[in-house]
Chain A
């Protein structure tokens, strides 16, 4: 079953987060207002991206990154037009023009630039097709999505959307207990590390912002990035008083409560 929906309701960052956490393999198709894009993943890692009709071939990417000069590009096109990306890459390495590292770095740069542009898409449709991957002759990379998500989130400018995501700055944050989530492996900037150092169920987000002299927008951006990367979650701060109505609830005696719940279980089973 293909995952599909509207970007207005489920953002690109959220889709990436889902792909990351579910270790999905397949291709995400995004249909923006004027152009489509395709992003492929293998086991939750970013491997390939293509935006509309842009020249995403190896030669196009190397020309864009100035690894190949335009006149060289013309010559290669003339003499190696029938070569696949992988064949062309090998040819360039064996001829001593470029190293494997040069090629992979150029492709990585191109893929990330495409992906970061997609993060600003807030309108359009998406569909994720499981197990659909780029053709074998394409050169793919393998990038962890946590850092991509964090960088993409840095670029989100919609302050209203951030306020929608984190409406209450009086809540606290705690680190997620999830296998594989390790804050040490994530590239954070100085401000993000400052926020991370204060994360504790005793500190509200507002208090963390005050301690770091950050505006509400700045703290929301950082918290949003950490939330979307699945590193932290929002919790009720320790010692925060309950709302008056909830506080007036008088808990039933523990022994009596267990009996009561067991009676409810028996009754519902009998329905």
Chain B
């Protein structure tokens, strides 16, 4: 049995756990806890260690999706999680510009850990205050070549699209694209 891993990262409350839940065939193994910090009390719980979902391809291949912890004090987990990943997804909450700087920092950190392909998912595009994709690209200082994809983490189709685009990027990097 071969297992491969993709990492879903991004700032606190960007929608990583929801993203994995939307496509995982198992209940996401989550380690959410009540939030203790007032500053981070945007939602009731957050992922404190890591959570993961699973997609079985066939008898010989399984894909695991790992979500990184949302709060800054668990940064030390990132390097461990990035080990051996096929690629990674950076989730950005399109409606919270106060998190864009942090998202950029996380992206740069992961790129430094492992130079694997990645895509950026502009999550919560269904919200009234969400920034448009091209405005987000500039705010995040993303090169035009980086794939920036609209996403609503609770909608499976948009999550599938993000995962597929990451896989296409991996193939493109290998010079063998299948579409």
Contacts and interface: CB of A to CB of B under 8 A. Distances in A.
Given A22-B135, A249-B83, A265 B167 contact: yes
Interface residues on chain A, size class: 35 or more
A81 interface: no
Interface in B143-179: 143-144, 156, 160, 163-164, 167-168, 170-171, 174, 176, 178
Contacts of A261: 86, 167, 170-171, 174, 178
B20 interface: no
Nearest to B86: A261
B4 to A, nearest CB: 7
Contacts of B56: 267
Interface string A253-268: 0100110111111111
Contacts of A3: 131, 135
Interface of B: 2, 4, 23, 55-58, 61, 63, 79-80, 82-84, 86, 97-101, 105, 108, 111-115, 129, 131-132, 134-135, 138-139, 141, 143-144, 156, 160, 163-164, 167-168, 170-171, 174, 176, 178
Contact of B114 (A1, A234, A242): A242
Contacts of B131: 3
A264 B4 contact: yes
Interface of A: 1, 3-6, 8-10, 14, 17-18, 21-22, 164-165, 167-168, 171, 176, 178, 227, 230, 233-234, 236, 242-243, 245-246, 248-249, 254, 257-258, 260-269, 271
A267 B55 contact: yes
Nearest to B102: A9
A258 B173 CA distance: 10
A8 to B, nearest CB: 7
A97 B13 CA distance: 61
Which of B134, B138, B168 gathers the greatest number of chain A CB atoms within 10 Å?
B138
B164 A269 contact: yes
A149 B8 CA distance: 34
Given A257-B174, A261-B170, A263-B58, A5 B138 contact: no
Contacts of A262: 171, 178
B143 A9 contact: no
B174 A258 contact: yes
Nearest to B23: A271
B170 A10 contact: no
A248 to B, nearest CB: 7
A236 B105 contact: no
B139 A264 contact: no
A263 B83 contact: no
**Top 3 A-B pairs, shortest CB-CB distance:** A9-B98, A5-B97, A245-B83
A74 B162 CA distance: 65
A265 B164 contact: yes
A268 B83 contact: no
A17 B111 contact: no
B55 A9 contact: no
Contacts of B176: 258
B171 A268 contact: no
B97 A6 contact: yes
A209 B58 CA distance: 53
B98 A6 contact: yes
Contact of A1 (B108, B132, B134): B132
A22 B132 CA distance: 11
28 contacts: A3-B135, A9-B98, A9-B100, A10-B98, A10-B101, A18-B135, A18-B138, A21-B138, A22-B134, A22-B138, A167-B105, A176-B143, A233-B141, A249-B83, A257-B170, A257-B174, A258-B171, A260-B2, A261-B174, A262-B171, A263-B57, A265-B178, A266-B57, A268-B23, A268-B55, A268-B164, A268-B167, A269-B164
Nearest to B101: A9
Nearest to B134: A22
A229 to B, nearest CB: 11
A254 B100 CA distance: 35
A266 B58 CA distance: 11
A245 B97 contact: no
A236 B112 CA distance: 6
